[in-house]
Amino acid sequence: MQAMTDQPVQIGELAKTLGITTRTIRYYEEIGLMGPSERLGGGARTYSREDILRLKFILKLKELGISLKEMQELAENFDINQQSFGTITPKLLEILDIHIGKVDQKIANLASLRKEIVDYRSRITDILQGNTPVVS
């Protein structure tokens, strides 16, 4: 893909560059995450620099674990307010804070699980070494 020029990029080239399918891009359009694409004479979809940046933003949110529903809320808020980052940022921060809390909880759960596994392993080692009687 051209290095982020103002020239439109066709859907196949965009999908290949971003490592996604053309179907994924069309689906994001269908559910309203992206606006409708421009079409060439033969009907092929093309994307502007702004479209590409928006798609990259969507992919980054997906990578962070943001749900499609949450992305739709952000996109709706963004578009209703003339694509003002001042309106999307508070909602995005709220969603990210929720996900940070979920990640923190998962980390705590994994730490607890790790401790239980280490303790269990230690008890098994003690039994095998004859340091602890086997309880029936």
User: The sheet that has 9-10: what strands, in order across it?
Assistant: 9-10, 45-47, 38-39
The pLDDT value recorded for residue 83 is 63
How many domains does the structure of the chain reveal? 2
Last residue of a domain, one of 9, 32, 63: 63
Is the pLDDT at 119 greater than 90, yes or no?
Answer: yes
pTM of the model: 0.65
Is the pLDDT at 87 greater than 80, yes or no?
Answer: no
Choose the weakest-confidence range: 3-7, 14-18, 70-74. 3-7
Write out the residue range of the structural domain in which residue 10 sits: 1-63
Give yes or no: residues 107 and 123 share one domain: yes
Last residue of a domain, one of 63, 97, 112: 63
Give yes or no: residues 59 and 88 share one domain: no
Instruction: Let me know: does 46 contact 11? Beta carbons within 8 Å.
Output: yes
- Higher pLDDT, residue 25 or 78: 25
Segment holding 48, helix H or strand E:
none
Give yes or no: residues 54 and 85 share one domain: no
| 111-113-116-120 Cα dihedral, nearest 10 degrees | -130
Give yes or no: residues 94 and 32 share one domain: no
Render pLDDT for 51-79 as a digit per residue (tens, 0 to 9): 898 899 899 989 988 899 988 888 777 76
Give yes or no: residues 94 and 127 share one domain: yes
Give yes or no: residues 55 and 91 share one domain: no
The pLDDT value recorded for residue 18 is 93
Render pLDDT for 28-43 as a digit per residue (tens, 0 to 9): 999 888 877 777 777 7
- Higher pLDDT, residue 22 or 91: 22
The pLDDT value recorded for residue 79 is 66
